[in-house]
A and B are shown apart, each in its own frame.
Chain A
Amino acid sequence: MFPSRMWKGLVTQTQDQALTELLTINETIRAYGLVLTPHDVKHLISARNEALHNYGRIEFGFDVSRRLIEEFAPSPYIDAENFVSVLHELHDIFYYFKNETEDDISDATLIDIMRDRFNGHCAGSVDLLKSSLEAYAKNFRKELHQDELFAHGGDDE
């Protein structure tokens, strides 16, 4: 049985540090007219935890949250009004597609793809971003399985 208490202790410890760490991003995003309050950050952490729980994942550190904030803050479709709510949804999308791409895509690459599509043909629509990524993930898996098939075929020879 997985001793969940051990994880819980460490995760709680790092979440307190995360609050302070994520608030320092304000120095960067202020240039785009955006500010995260401690209340916003706490909610973001909750959204992140909920997404991790929903998609059966475990994460150490808050690099993904930090990168999502930094990469999406300069978007022309983000403003002070929608920033926090979009970030909530982006966390959900990110962990969902980590699973859908079978953990075979790096955090940085997935965030880059999300940002480019959000700013590009999705024009700031989170719903369109989801649909676009569904198609991407489907193709990605198809190619992945084809590669595996060839790799196995190569082993047999």
Chain B
Amino acid sequence: MSNGDFQALVPRELVNKSNLRQNHYSISLINEGLRTRLLHRQEAYLIQTELVLIVQELIRRYTRGDSSSVAVETAERLFTSMLYALDMQMRSYERPEVALTALKSQDTRNLYKTGVERVRQCFEETRLLYYEIRRTKLDVPVDAYNTTIDESLPALLLSINTALCLTRITRWRVSTTLSQSMTYRYTAFYI
């Protein structure tokens, strides 16, 4: 029996869900995978490298290929957006262990793309909810209520749509995090 076979027989601890963070779920999942040895250091490194390459591609799209550098804040926003989409996909799995297996066995870029699609669907639902709110809007003289529905929400909706369509950005500085889509969704429900 080789050393590798012996290691495979060692029982592995399952993921402790309390160690998984709501914010940056995928990163905490990778850390938890390393702790429980469900993920090898080399596998984690490869996933991280893939994530950096995705951000690199987002930066290229953001600058339309005209600039090789961006402000740290912009890189952070794009990174957070990317992680948000990946988190959407990772959370969709039944159990964290299954999500880890997907991270190990599937192309990280594809997982990210599927996550973006999930965010897009969520955005579409949000958009429909907004139209419903507009349709049923009360005729009351309350500034905060009217401004939120008539001005703030459409502006937010537009900025999220822009973030979702990075390839179609017309102004460099128009960008936002995808995480705002959830904020918007909650806001829509709240109203």
Contact = CB atoms under 8 A, between A and B. Distances in A.
Nearest to B63: A103
B52 interface: yes
B59 A60 contact: yes
Nearest to B67: A107
Given A2-B76, A60-B56, A60-B59, A103 B70 contact: yes
Given A102-B173, A103-B172, A3 B27 contact: yes
The bracket for how many chain B residues form the interface is 20 to 34
B157 to A, nearest CB: 14
Interface string A37-71: 00000000000000010001111110110000000
A61 B53 CA distance: 12
Interface residues of A, number: 25
Interface of B: 24, 27, 45, 48-49, 51-52, 56, 59, 63, 66-76, 79, 172-173
Given A6-B48, A6-B49, A64-B69, 17 more contacts: A2-B76, A7-B52, A9-B49, A56-B72, A57-B70, A57-B72, A58-B69, A58-B70, A58-B75, A60-B68, A60-B69, A61-B68, A99-B71, A103-B71, A103-B74, A103-B172, A104-B172
* Chain A to chain B: the 5 pairs with minimum beta-carbon distance, closest first: A106-B66, A59-B69, A58-B75, A56-B72, A57-B69
